[in-house]
Structure 1
């Protein structure tokens, strides 16, 4: 007797959140899905290393980066270039690790969260996010994992299968000279989209500094 095929694995839950979940600010949570495009510039007329636009092409954020000295740094800025958060890589750490701070600061009192690898050696991309108030760090507050598609990265709520945002890598061949990479971001209802953009910038920054 031939056994029936095994049932498929439960599909990840992709849906909006019932109540707003904000980390950087409540103003970045909206009652609908947000579609954003992050474009890293090879050539820029200002000091922005990347621009973030909405579905209508309106500028939402600027990203600035610097990969010199003891620590790598990036900033998520408003459209005027004012830092909203500062992201700093901790080089003297066993695990891949970035810290995110509020404003243009790296003081401990302004710490928002820490993003790090769960294992020293990883076969597949995975990062755990611990908010500053999570002192025990036994369970992550958010999780980042590469999807089944190699060009997709999923963001999860806590250590669950609840997807709160997705990043898709794409390239615009007509502007390849001026643009290095373009990332499509979908942030689902009631999730802090500024926080997701900042975490995406950290992933991209680490790839740039490592040359991978």
Structure 2
């Protein structure tokens, strides 16, 4: 599934992993917002949080602030839609929590198939939001990993910053949206 609005997504076919730096709660960001930078410090994505009386909506934006994916929580799960839509024709994925304990969380993501109503399990997310660690699997392969930033066994930066490595062949916008749900789901 291609999100043509982002220059980074066009690089999905590169044969090397890419590292992105996720920053939560930096100065200049409103509560709930997240910035995603490349290794050179260039903004790649931003997550904007919009609060309402009933819940919050997270919108993944590209570097030019174009909405790519809107994430809505609903009854213990989440749904991701193209742009700022909430129409079924724009549904990209649905996510369900399969395990939630103090130390471990697991989610399962279902991408919408070619037939609009067909959902198939595509990704499993496993890890610890508190420790800022998550592995995203597609089948038996690792699609992406998020970890605190370490150097020689020592943490380099505070908990509000961590690294996301995305392996070749995966849509970066979808992976980032899934990671946002894992770490910031709000359920």
Say yes or no: TM over 0.5.
Answer: yes
The residue that corresponds to 1:111 in the other structure is 91
What secondary structure does 1:141 align onto? strand
C-alpha separation in 2, matches of 1:74 and 1:172: 28
Shift of 1:151: 4.2
TM-score (norm 2): 0.78
Q: Confirm or deny: 8 A CA contact 1:36 1:54 kept in the other structure.
A: yes
What are the Cα deviations for residues 92-117 of structure 1, in whole angstroms up to 9, with x where unaligned? x2xx2010000111111110000111
What secondary structure does 1:117 align onto? strand
Q: How many corresponding residue pairs? A: 173
What are the Cα deviations for residues 111-139 of structure 1, in whole angstroms up to 9, with x where unaligned? 000011136x65731100011228565x6
> Which structure features the higher share of strand residues?
2
Give the superposed CA RMSD: 2.9
Against the structure 1 CA distance between its residues 45 and 112, is the aligned structure 2 distance closer, same or farther, given a 3 Å change threshold?
closer
Q: Confirm or deny: 8 A CA contact 2:36 2:43 kept in the other structure.
A: yes
The residue that corresponds to 2:105 in the other structure is 125
Match of 2:12 among 29, 38, 62: 29
TM-score (norm 1): 0.70
Q: Confirm or deny: 8 A CA contact 1:117 1:128 kept in the other structure.
A: yes
**Map 1:48-67 → 2, pairs under 5 A:** 49-67=33-51
Q: Confirm or deny: 8 A CA contact 1:39 1:181 kept in the other structure.
A: yes
**Map 1:176-191 → 2, pairs under 5 A:** 181-191=160-170
C-alpha separation in 2, matches of 1:151 and 1:203: 10
Shift of 1:169: 3.1
C-alpha separation in 2, matches of 1:43 and 1:55: 20
Gaps of 5+ in 1: 1-21
Quick one: higher RCO (CA 8 Å, sep 6+), 1 or 2?
Answer: 1
Against the structure 1 CA distance between its residues 168 and 104, is the aligned structure 2 distance closer, same or farther, given a 3 Å change threshold?
same
What secondary structure does 1:191 align onto? coil
Shift of 1:23: 5.2
Shift of 1:48: 8.3
